[in-house]
Amino acid sequence: MDRNAVSSPPRAKADGETNPTFTASPDARSKDITTAGDRNTGVLNQHSSQRGAYTVGIHEDKGSRRTMEDAFSFIVDFAGVKGQGYFAIFDGHAGKHAAEWCGQHFHEELIRQLKAPDNHKKTVPEVLNKTFGAVDDKLGQIAANGLTNSGCTAVTSFLRIEEREEEDDSSSSPSAASGGPKTLTETGEKLAPVGGKEEPSKREKIKAIFKHSPESPTSSPRNSHTVTRRVLYTANVGDARAVLCSAGEAIRLTHDHKGSDKGEVKRIKEAGGFVLNNRVNGVLAVTRSLGDSAMKEFVVGTPYTTTVELTDSDEFLILACDGLWDVLKDQEAVDLVRRETDAQKASEILVKHALDNYSQDNVTVLVVRFHSDAGSA
């Protein structure tokens, strides 16, 4: 079902975040997609009516499954800042409820954490980590209230507009607009290398580490100027994935938390659990998620996070659940839609390709097409 074409039924109002009222339908419901008027006010799942720093396309299909357990969300001009953005996909299991709740409320918790006085000196990855923890706790409270024991994988990206003072020095590093070597910071627990043939080569091509902590106070140099930068912060648990297309190259910004990961197996065994047939305690195929309160001792909600400063060479971002990645490699996905400049059409092409190649899961794809000519306007 394409939410751009068919409106979902009216939702019952939630009775508080930890005691929500879910719809009777077994299918997860994301908030309907709308288009803003003359001004965009950062509304959930609302496109801007004007060309800005990026455009968003979203498409989903139930596929061969009996129910749809995926949910999505995006916010243009996130947190009231023009050019900022929030993008997320939540892939549910054992029911729709965790994914549906996250699609409706995860962004609210992120805003709370960004505004919390205790977090003002924390880096954005640290704030994302606290957000995932807070959301995980709330899903645990919902489970304690007897409403659901479901869980979901999650991939979230926060596009942040940042300003900093830089010295007027020709020997300084190239600006974001120069399209220099792609720089990336990875944070979180030390993990085993991602499986597959393409991931190690992609990481080898990342020339330098971007170590700037935008929240840390810095003194202004004598001869300096203010530089506006676009920084993409991504976090995930489970096997929902984010892939950035940079000058045609696919760069994975997430880590697949699966039972085949040696580092994850070691962590689970040390916590007293086991992995059988690549499933945690013989049950769950992912080793990290939100919700799943009955297995929380082993299936943690701590995210893997990355930070990358965008340049003019960064063309688009793909967020998708494993229904896409089960049948398509990162580079294949990038190559398939690189020439399609319409983000909505690109998302539809990827979903169709997954279904045509016999994906056995729900498929949800969100594409963000960056417009370097628009800057942060």
Condensed to tens digits (0 to 9), the pLDDT of residues 174-185 reads 444 555 556 666
Look at residue 225 and tell me whether its pLDDT is greater than 70.
yes
More confident residue, 95 or 204: 95
Look at residue 139 and tell me whether its pLDDT is greater than 50.
yes
| Average model confidence (pLDDT) across the chain | 83
Output the CA angle 281-282-287, nearest 5 degrees.
60
Residue type present at position 241: R
pTM for the model: 0.83
For the chain, give every domain's residue range. 40-164+178-213+228-256+303-374
| pLDDT tens-digit series, residues 61-96 | 998 899 999 999 999 999 999 999 999 999 999 889
211 — alpha (psi -120 to 50), left (phi > 0) or beta? alpha
- The residue among 107, 115, 88, 106 whose CA lies nearest residue 42 is 107
Look at residue 45 and tell me whether its pLDDT is greater than 60.
yes
| Residue 165 pLDDT level (bands cut at 50, 70, 90) | confident
- Would you say the C-alpha torsion 134, 130, 154, 301 has a positive or negative sign? negative
CATH class assigned to 40-164+178-213+228-256+303-374: alpha beta
* Residue 285 buriedness (CB in 10 A; 0-12 / 13-18 / 19+): middle
Q: What is the Cα–Cα distance from 2 to 58, expressed in whole angstroms?
A: 8
Looking at residue 278, what is its pLDDT? 94
Look at residue 48 and tell me whether its pLDDT is greater than 70.
yes
Looking at residue 39, what is its pLDDT? 64
Contact 160/143 with Cβ under 8 angstroms?
no
Where do runs of H (alpha helix) occur along the chain?
97-115, 124-144, 198-204, 262-270, 322-325, 330-337, 343-356
Look at residue 323 and tell me whether its pLDDT is greater than 70.
yes
- State in Å, rounded, how far the first CA of the chain is from the last one: 32
User: Mean of the pLDDT values across residues 310-327?
Assistant: 96
Looking at residue 14, what is its pLDDT? 41
Looking at residue 198, what is its pLDDT? 39
